[in-house]
Structure 1
Amino acid sequence: MLENLKLSPQSQAVFHIDPEQHETVFSSWTVFTGCYLSGYSKGEPRIPERLQPNSMCLLTELPKGGPEAERRIVGAFMVEDDFIGSRCTDGVIQAHPAHRIQLPSERQPLFWPYVIKEPEKQRWGKTAFKYMSNRTGEKVLFDCKENTLTADEKSQAERFYRYYCKLNRLPSRIDLEAPLAANG
């Protein structure tokens, strides 16, 4: 079923995590979609319509009082295999038990350079999450696997990356580079 899933080109989510939420998010491995800010559903949990079993939740933080250009990627996880965003009426997204990563504080890349050319002009706004393209998600995960510290973390990050690429039908750069490394 996962390999036959109809894909949307923008089925990844980027979440803003407040520094006070950091421990809770990584101990429970859940995020909240926030609430609608206006309209008929104002105050109700935001329904992540585009998220499917091929979706990743990218976790970002902004240092307290820092400019938006300093937003950093602190972790990521795939949603569970049976997650259907349109059915998520409570706004709580649980991480996949195997495909998740938390980056060490000294190895967290900046977020905005992945999506725009002028990060200093960007602003987040009041929403808990934004959608991101599948290709951008691949770039972020490929780089994040390089930001792990231990061999075990790197192995876990590579499995996550391969899983993401398989579900989103994207070529895995690890697999494309492997024959070159073996011959070189």
Structure 2
Amino acid sequence: MNLINKKVTHKLFGIGSIVKYNDSSIEIHFASENKKFVFPDVFGKHLKLHDKSVAHSLEKIIEKKEMEHNEEERKKEEEKKLQQKNQELRWGLEKLMKNHKLHSESQMVFWCDTEEQNSSLLEWKVFSGVIKSGNNKGKPTKPIRLHQNSAVLLTAIDSSMPEKDRRILGVYMVNEDFIGKLCEDGYIPAHSKYRLQLTEQESDQMPFWKYYVNERSSQKMTWNTGKYRYFDNLWMAQILLDIAELKSDPKERELAQQFFEHFCKMNLITAEELPKPNGALMRM
């Protein structure tokens, strides 16, 4: 569409002709002087083209630009609402974190089957399972005790071995902003830094039942049902300390020590006063 030399009428300046224009401005020669206007905004209310066919084409351009402008404004408004919603969520999370009271058993031990032994360490997350009965049957189980101070212990046994031979595969702190009671999908992701995997040789030296005990039956080592158990914060600290002492690689040992210190800080545990492991294996 060419607008050069096209005749126009302006409400204030009268008849003129277009001498120059681009995507954002237009220059018109009137009887006494040239005037510049915003293009194509000036058309419609203030300026009218004499050529009807060109005016029709220009209307299409103006309509398209208005639609693009409206779409841009809509996106800005949606972005503003999203930012406000995210801010409200952050405030809510900060409030929950600030008001959180430590539970003495806010650690999780997870039973990894053959497939999960690889996936849990590769993806660094576990699935808490689904509710078996009631109104919420089939929905993911919420790991309600897990919070920023919580760690997840990954364990497994060979199908031919007794439960007492369950060994530790790895451990991770939960993601920095994870709150179990708000978990809708049942997945428990790992912290960006604090995650440790044991070699097969290291794992053989870390039997789970060295630390864990059912106080109602202190010498009995049975799991029965379910994918996970909550257990004592002190037991997790004992495990982390032993892993740190077990690691021979300097970088892994340093990370394990930092993990242990961070965990103790988050759970208000004094490392110097940490008791020795006294799980079911130690009571036989």
- Which structure's relative contact order is higher, taking Cα pairs within 8 Å and 6+ residues apart? 1
TM-score scaled by length of structure 1: 0.87
Q: What is the distance in 1 between the residues matched to 2:99 and 2:135?
A: 34
Aligned residue pairs, count? 172
Hey, what's the Cα distance between the residues in 2 that align with 1:59 and 1:124?
14
Deviation at 1:3, TM superposition (A): 8.0
> Where does residue 110 of structure 1 map in the other structure?
207
Is 1:77 aligned with 2:172? yes
Task: Please give the alpha-carbon distance, in whole angstroms, between the structure 1 residues aligned to 2:143 and 2:118.
Answer: 23
Cα distance in 1 between the residues matched to 2:255 and 2:100: 24
For residues 169 and 207 of structure 2, the distance between their equivalents in structure 1, rounded to whole angstroms, comes to 9
Check conservation: 2:176, 2:192, Cα contact below 8 A: no
State the match for 2:121 in structure 1.
26
- Say whether residues 1:165 and 2:264 are aligned partners: yes
Q: For 1:66 and 1:39, how far apart are their aligned partners in 2? A: 35
* 1:80 Cα deviation from its structure 2 partner: 1.3
Rounded to whole Å, the distance in 1 between the matches of 2:130 and 2:211 is 26
Which one has the largest radius of gyration? 2
Q: Which amino acid aligns with 2:176?
A: D
Q: Matched residues in 2 for 1:141 and 1:68: separation?
A: 21
8 Å CA contact 1:56, 1:76 repeated in 2 = yes
1:54 aligns with 2:154: no
Unaligned runs of 5+ in 2: 1-93, 274-284
Q: Unaligned 5+ residue runs, structure 1? A: 175-184
| Identical pairs, percent | 37
SS in structure 2 at match of 1:126: coil
